[in-house]
Amino acid sequence: MRITKETVEHVANLARLYLSEEEKAEMTEKLNSILDYMEKLNELDTSQVQPTAHVIPIKNVFREDRVWESLPLKETLKNAPDRDENFFRVPRIIEE
């Protein structure tokens, strides 16, 4: 499978990108070199290779969830520039 200049133009159009003629030629060449490399990889015999999700045998690296007391509400809101009862009040950023 080869990438043509027309394919690059089509993808650039979908992405709303303007590419000069030189950039189109460069992208066509680069994408084709990537596909050539992938073809070399397809020549390898991987029938004896186990599928992996990660090259390093890592298990769950997340720490255990722990429950602890949060900051007291009064202390949390004491430096709030504006508040509404127990909530921070922030300026509206979305116009209607």
Please give the torsion angle defined by the CA atoms of residues 28, 30, 32 and 37, in that order, rounded to the nearest 10 degrees. -170
Count CB-CB contacts under 10 A for residue 75: 8
Q: What is the pTM of this model?
A: 0.49
21-42 vs 5-14: helix crossing angle, rounded to 10: 110
pLDDT of residue 96: 67
Instruction: Give the chain's mean pLDDT.
Output: 89
What are the pLDDT digits (tens) for 12-39?
999 999 999 999 999 999 999 999 999 9
